Structure 1
């Protein structure tokens, strides 16, 4: 196992990969705000590889929602309506406090129909390719604080702190590369779907660079899925938030699990030995998602099971899987998290753990845990703003999907019935 000192040395090493800010790329981003930066992509097609990916995203967006599956067929009856103890009255009151402060123009941009396809138009890059709702760095401090209050009431205390840490690390990156108008603590958009209520379905989206949360609420039940959380670097080593660090537990537990496997199991779990392996089929790696399969706009992706079955592992190894899932379900309030972990554990016999890369203490890696009711991915990335050409442990992407139409609460909404929803939507 890697020592704490080893981990610290790995994470501090990002300083040797700071970019040259005198290059045209960084001079351009320093001069632009978020809208000018997006214009570079959407109108001038720079960078070309990301514009190509964006065009592909928009094609995917036109597909009707089906959900992530393992074989193209949605398994029915996996998710039930239930009491998860969510403080829906307080959450609803906080959402209404936001609404009360919106201008007419903000209202039009921010309050969307519960059936709006814009639920699905979130993305992780810093380019503002889906400009909707209110943007936290453009609104009054009072309205911004109301959005934070809603997040704090909705998420678990530790989940809220993780989200705020991701935002602060994004600000830190903006300072490192002289792009504070594009990447800062408040460069995130907020949108409401449906009408906030204690007895009707509704939700919200909160998204920006390295933090995207899709939240569905119905009575005392919550779905936070899909979500994306990343960091480059994943630690702040200077300034008022020095010591802030995220995603290291997901990294530690995943590596501990892989290192605990015997040779046979380790071989079965390893899908590819190299992070960009020549054996990968075309499309298995792309410039933005790299090894991720279920990132932005991949709502209908077919992801076949790979690796080893968690139910065949030793009890201590299954405990490590529980620990990983606990971290990935951290955004949920405690009772909801507990119930969803029970759902996951109940399907360990059909849960797969797969791995890409090496498993030495210093090796970058990717892993996925996938079952009918959850899919989580972890990936060490090469540099986007830092200039490390190879994946490094200080640039991490993580995400969670709920397969079989569980994302965005769709599987639950199908049980609520259209009469309830249609009776309670924003008037056009």
Structure 2
């Protein structure tokens, strides 16, 4: 059996864990649309564990943005303003095609200030916790097409294909659990920050269940961070999109890297043996993020370095790290991706690879690659809609953060603001 066939067999096991839809939980979600489903959480506090997490998230949101760090101190001068070659004129034209179709009411909800704190109110559960912007499923077909055209103009071709695949897998899950009005191909919100222009900073957020993208643009430079991409299951085995799957390369390359390490290196990389280990300190695991540290609302989290230093590894292992990071930077257009990969390589002396779980072919696992300029996380999850109580390879969460205030283009916005202020003083 080839590795691809083995992966397909593992991921196809999700059919053993299809839930009992004849339960109150699934009766409730089947009768609701996204707004009714959110009301269950926000007004009726169901489910209680997620409502508690939501309350905690809102407290975190009240903190001024600082950025993820490894020790609580933001390191300056890591992210230069530069030419990354993105087709900004085409992207701006695609954005104007959206704004020209918005009604006054839609525009009021959709176009926010460039420095709005609402950049940070994305989240990956299916509950619509932040109803800003426009929602694809509620739009006219021309306007919905225009939003997707902006995504296509902004992302790399392979990144756009990955985003579409995540949306289609979300639709597939909605069909599996009889919740098509809550989880479907178009159950995503879109919001603009700033005014689209070729020479001024602006951006947008596109978010919903298992796909959240924060995109900042300035001239020919782009930041896609933070982003979250997940799938439950991570493959479609029937219907018009049969054969669609995502996140398998991140899985394959991560496992290959761990298995290629020497015994001493593996021991150093492996921070916990079990996926939910009794040695984990309080807060290291939670019901929603499980092993993830840098998910929604964790904009200011302190994440200490742990694991093995990438620069200490052999050439083969360093190349695997580069390939993994290439997958995590896939949303970026090619030139921007290559420049950011070069940034990452420059910091391999302070880049750490860490692992949780087993590393046999069939084992579920978590890994993180962390440096001053990037954090990526991969996690096999237990079931949320499917009934597997233990982490399984068919339910995957991945995310990327740019630490040291790089998220949401914040570090660049500070520089742009300072530059504008200097020009104003000089002209004055």
Compute the TM-score of the two structures, normalised by the length of structure 1: 0.98
Structure 2 matches for 1:312-327, cutoff 5 A?
A: 312-327=312-327
Match of 1:123 in 2: 123
- Cα root mean square deviation, aligned: 1.3
- What is the alpha-carbon distance in structure 1 between the residues aligned to residue 36 and residue 379 of structure 2? 30
Any idea what SS the aligned residue of 1:388 has? coil
Does residue 300 in structure 1 map to residue 300 in structure 2? Answer: yes
1:2 to partner: Cα distance? 7.5
1:9 to partner: Cα distance? 1.1
- What is the alpha-carbon distance in structure 2 between the residues aligned to residue 420 and residue 108 of structure 1? 27
Match of 1:290 in 2: 290
CA contact (8 A) 1:2 1:361 kept: no
- What is the alpha-carbon distance in structure 2 between the residues aligned to residue 382 and residue 333 of structure 1? 33
- What is the alpha-carbon distance in structure 1 between the residues aligned to residue 294 and residue 216 of structure 2? 19
Match of 1:63 in 2: 63
Any idea what SS the aligned residue of 2:398 has? strand
CA contact (8 A) 1:61 1:120 kept: yes
Structure 2 matches for 1:267-416, cutoff 5 A?
A: 267-416=267-416
* 1:35-85 deviation line (CA, Å, top 9, x unaligned): 000000000000000000000000000000000000000000000000000
Compute the TM-score of the two structures, normalised by the length of structure 2: 0.98
Match of 1:54 in 2: 54
Structure 2 matches for 1:113-262, cutoff 5 A?
A: 113-262=113-262
1:133 to partner: Cα distance? 0.2
1:177 to partner: Cα distance? 0.1
CA contact (8 A) 1:270 1:355 kept: yes
Match of 2:28 in 1: 28
Moved over 3 A (4+): 418-421
Does residue 84 in structure 1 map to residue 81 in structure 2? Answer: no
Question: Which ranges of structure 1 fall in alignment gaps of 5 or more residues?
Answer: 424-428
CA contact (8 A) 1:212 1:227 kept: yes
1:5 to partner: Cα distance? 2.5
- What is the alpha-carbon distance in structure 2 between the residues aligned to residue 144 and residue 169 of structure 1? 19
1:162 to partner: Cα distance? 0.1
1:420 to partner: Cα distance? 4.2
Does residue 266 in structure 1 map to residue 266 in structure 2? Answer: yes
CA contact (8 A) 1:200 1:420 kept: no
- What is the alpha-carbon distance in structure 2 between the residues aligned to residue 169 and residue 228 of structure 1? 15
1:6 to partner: Cα distance? 1.9
Any idea what SS the aligned residue of 1:277 has? coil
Any idea what SS the aligned residue of 1:417 has? helix
Question: Which ranges of structure 2 fall in alignment gaps of 5 or more residues?
Answer: 424-428
Any idea what SS the aligned residue of 2:377 has? strand
Match of 2:426 in 1: none
Number of aligned residues: 423
Any idea what SS the aligned residue of 2:224 has? strand
* 1:239-259 deviation line (CA, Å, top 9, x unaligned): 000000000000000000000
